[in-house]
């Protein structure tokens, strides 16, 4: 505890300090059985702490907006992984870095040390605005109209700890792509932005309501052009609507894509428009030209290094090196199997980058790294240095660069292996199809379950973990094969077609059949998804059907990749057997917290934040009384309607005629000091009325 407090003293950031102290306090209360496990889980996840498959340890997700990472920060994360985790840094498809096998008790201290280099865990998981992703090439892209990095970063900063997005029904994902190539896959995000210039004004094309998972949806176009100063107001409006109208009980239906599908785009945009009056900013200017200049090394090599593997270098230069828009500089991609980098290698990579490039890297959406601002004189020296570390493998973002989630290595939800088989598939490509190392059209992506953390739903060739039974009912690990997905540009894409289920051990054979067929039947220059559509799904189903035959299962096929014993289906269980407490009391306790936060925000003159905390307190109080009567509303709007029906119209709570209108004054007034104070006082009175009712009910029950 003493070292934890010492770490906080060095931060000089009271907001972050309080956040970390609050985490430590909640951990102790949870371990003492004084916080409901579900409530603690929600609080923990919003601080980047995720329960692992293995009991008693946590995965820590480190939030890196746009995947931006300085060499100093990389060293800090490597040191943290050595001290608290498994000495491995896992890059994700969300441009985060994850470390594993961390003790829950150590998370406040770990977080405090990360914050010394301005690295946060806040809202990396949970029902929040997740890490905002962006094209790794932003700022150096030859095709970009302008650098989107300042806009993505300001979006991150604005919504971090923002009260409107702390307890939504589900997560909310945002992506920025630097050009119409859409390298950030905006079409699978809740909100996606692509730069536009109209009449000399900067802005963005906006797409909305995309998502993968078990039920993938393609985003719809909300605006062909939205002025840059409306970027944050519009996003806040959408999040407010999602918070209020989004599903909360049925987890599988709780994403924005389902709300959009249910009410339609015109109605959604109408609801967003209704929120305008309540917004903190009606216009929010972002300095789009502000971006720190790269810190470049003074050292410039004068001689070509000796002993270079010229053939490998040529292949590496062709597949891993790009020309920047800044004349005389190159970007260099680092291909990482499974996105994993040991902490020792991470520090050595940071040293190499500092010597030959700018001091800022970007984590890529396919789990690699992009080194930026490499001079032509340094390219071969950089290659040699990377090659000594095993980090100069050609084929970045090619068929041979497979994306995979951690799967059964650590995830509670994973069904079957996604990592060992990825390495097996890469070996097939490397040894049997080396020519495909130059193919950057076909993307192979693997997830351990249908949830698509490995993004199998947008792959040319995708797999996700599953199970399959033989005729006796014995279970074997399996893969569902998906084909034909990909991006078509400008915020549009194609969702992969779910085709067939095969035993996992037959994955390499399936890949061989698919690549052989592509070599035989594709037309000159034909994209993979066009080839898939031209031949039709029946062609591929027939091609792969023999692999689905369970009557020929061998003993090895009952053993998952990377395992030694027969497959046993893992069922996710609660992360802790902590003592359950009264959920109603917990909700009312949280209401008191929210009202205290409302007063603090008011005192800081953050009136919009104060109002939203008071609104959340209204909702919490109403939900508590409804739950006490076994009424379980699925949205905030339903909470307002149900409370009107069961408590206002029946006279159980008096003094309010129309509860919905009373609470939704939030979007009828500007966020002024006068309204914030009135609304806060009204929310306090409502809580007092609820407490009186609840105490009366308890007395009746006790008699």
Do residues 510 and 524 make contact, with C-beta atoms less than 8 angstroms apart? no
Do residues 659 and 640 make contact, with C-beta atoms less than 8 angstroms apart? yes
Whether the pLDDT of residue 581 is over 60: the answer is no
Q: What's the mean per-residue pLDDT of the chain?
A: 93
Region 603-615: what's the mean pLDDT? Answer: 97
Residue 532 CA to residue 540 CA, distance in Å, equals 8
Residue tagged 């292996």 (tokens): 417
Whether the pLDDT of residue 585 is over 80: the answer is no
Tell which phi-psi region holds residue 569, choosing left (phi > 0), alpha (psi between -120 and 50) or beta: beta
Which of 419, 397, 330 has the alpha carbon at shortest distance from 185? 397
Q: What is the pLDDT of residues 384-440, one digit of tens each?
A: 999 999 999 999 999 999 999 988 888 888 899 999 999 999 999 999 999 998 899
| Pair type for strands 68-70 and 133-134 | unpaired
Express as a percent the part of the chain with pLDDT over 90: 83
Tell which phi-psi region holds residue 139, choosing left (phi > 0), alpha (psi between -120 and 50) or beta: left
Which of 685, 615, 623 has the alpha carbon at shortest distance from 654? 685
Whether the pLDDT of residue 537 is over 60: the answer is yes
Residue 621 CA to residue 110 CA, distance in Å, equals 35
Region 216-237: what's the mean pLDDT? Answer: 97
| Reported confidence tier of residue 1, pLDDT bands at 50, 70, 90 | very low
Q: What tokens does 378 get?
A: 């340094």
Q: What is the pLDDT of residues 549-574, one digit of tens each?
A: 999 999 999 999 999 999 988 755 43
Based on its alpha-carbon atoms, the radius of gyration of the chain, rounded to whole angstroms, reads: 26
Q: For residue 237, what pLDDT is reported? A: 98
Region 39-52: what's the mean pLDDT? Answer: 90
Q: For residue 307, what pLDDT is reported? A: 83
556 CB contacts (<8 Å, ≥6 apart)? 505
Exposed, middle or buried, 574 (CB in 10 Å: 0-12/13-18/19+)?
exposed
For the chain, which domains are there?
A: 2-115 (3.30.70), 133-278 (3.30.413.10), 310-388 (3.30.70.3340), 403-558 (3.30.413.10), 583-702 (1.20.120.330)
- Under DSSP, is residue 93 helix (H, G, I), strand (E, B) or coil? coil
């Amino acid at each position: 505890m003493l070292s934890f407090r010492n770490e906080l003293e060095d931060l000089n950031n009271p907001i972050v300090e309080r956040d970390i102290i609050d985490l430590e306090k909640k951990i102790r209360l949870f371990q003492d059985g004084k916080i409901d496990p579900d409530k603690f889980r929600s609080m923990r996840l919003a601080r980047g702490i995720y329960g692992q498959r293995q009991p008693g340890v946590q995965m820590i997700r480190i939030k890196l907006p746009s995947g931006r990472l300085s060499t100093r920060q990389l060293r800090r994360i490597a040191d943290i992984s050595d001290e608290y985790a498994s000495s491995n840094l896992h890059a994700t498809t969300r441009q985060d870095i994850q470390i594993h096998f961390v003790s829950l008790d150590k998370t406040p201290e770990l977080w405090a040390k990360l914050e010394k280099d301005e690295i946060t865990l806040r809202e990396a998981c949970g029902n929040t605005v997740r890490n905002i992703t962006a094209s790794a090439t932003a700022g150096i892209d030859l095709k970009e109209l302008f650098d989107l990095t300042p806009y993505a970063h300001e979006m991150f900063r604005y919504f971090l700890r923002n009260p409107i997005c702390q307890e939504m029904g589900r997560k909310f994902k945002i992506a920025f792509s630097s050009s119409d190539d859409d390298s950030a896959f905006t079409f699978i995000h809740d909100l996606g932005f692509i730069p536009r210039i109209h009449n000399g004004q900067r802005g963005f094309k906006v797409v909305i309501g995309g998502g993968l998972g078990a039920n993938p949806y393609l985003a719809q176009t909300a605006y062909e052009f939205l002025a840059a100063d409306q970027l944050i107001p519009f996003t806040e409006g959408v999040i407010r609507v999602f918070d209020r109208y989004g599903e909360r009980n049925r987890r599988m239906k709780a994403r924005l894509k389902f709300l959009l599908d249910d009410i339609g785009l015109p109605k959604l945009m109408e609801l967003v428009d209704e929120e305008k009056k309540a917004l903190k900013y009606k216009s929010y200017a972002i300095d789009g030209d502000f971006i720190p200049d790269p810190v470049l090394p003074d050292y410039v090599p004068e001689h070509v290094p000796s002993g270079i593997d010229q053939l490998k270098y040529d292949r590496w230069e062709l597949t891993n090196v790009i020309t920047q828009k800044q004349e005389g500089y190159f970007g260099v991609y680092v291909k990482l199997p499974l996105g994993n980098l040991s902490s020792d290698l991470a520090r050595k990579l940071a040293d190499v980058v500092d010597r030959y490039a700018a001091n800022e890297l970007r984590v890529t959406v396919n789990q690699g790294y992009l080194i930026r601002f490499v001079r032509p004189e340094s390219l071969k020296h950089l290659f040699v240095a990377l090659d000594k570390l095993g980090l100069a493998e050609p084929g970045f973002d090619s068929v041979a660069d497979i994306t995979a989630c951690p799967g059964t290595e650590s995830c509670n939800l994973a069904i079957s292996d996604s990592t060992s088989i990825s390495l097996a598939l890469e070996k097939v490509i490397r040894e049997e199809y080396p020519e495909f190392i130059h193919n950057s059209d076909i993307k192979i992506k693997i997830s351990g379950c249908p949830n698509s953390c490995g993004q199998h739903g947008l792959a040319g060739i995708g797999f996700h973990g599953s199970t399959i039974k033989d005729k006796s009912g014995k279970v074997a690990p399996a893969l569902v094969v998906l084909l034909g997905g990909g991006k078509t540009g400008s915020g549009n894409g194609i969702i992969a077609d779910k085709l067939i289920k095969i035993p996992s051990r037959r994955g390499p054979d399936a890949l061989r059949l698919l690549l052989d067929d592509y070599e035989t039947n594709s037309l000159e220059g034909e994209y993979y998804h066009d080839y898939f559509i031209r031949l039709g799904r029946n062609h591929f189903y027939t091609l792969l059907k023999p692999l689905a035959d369970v009557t020929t299962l061998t003993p090895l096929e009952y053993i998952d990749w990377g395992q030694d014993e027969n497959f046993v289906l893992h069922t996710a269980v609660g992360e802790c057997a902590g003592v359950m407490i009264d959920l109603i009391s917990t909700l009312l306790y949280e209401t008191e917290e929210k009202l205290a936060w409302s007063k603090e925000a008011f005192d800081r003159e953050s009136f919009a934040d104060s109002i939203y905390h008071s609104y959340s307190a209204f909702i919490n109080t109403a939900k508590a009384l409804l739950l006490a009567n076994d009424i379980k509303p699925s949205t905030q709007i339903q909470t307002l309607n149900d409370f009107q029906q069961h408590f206002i119209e029946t006279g159980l709570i008096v003094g309010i005629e129309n509860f919905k209108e009373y609470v939704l004054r939030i979007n009828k007034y500007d966020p002024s000091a006068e309204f914030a104070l009135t609304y806060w006082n009204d929310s306090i009175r409502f809580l007092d009325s609820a407490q009186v009712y609840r105490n009366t009910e308890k007395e009746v029950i006790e008699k």
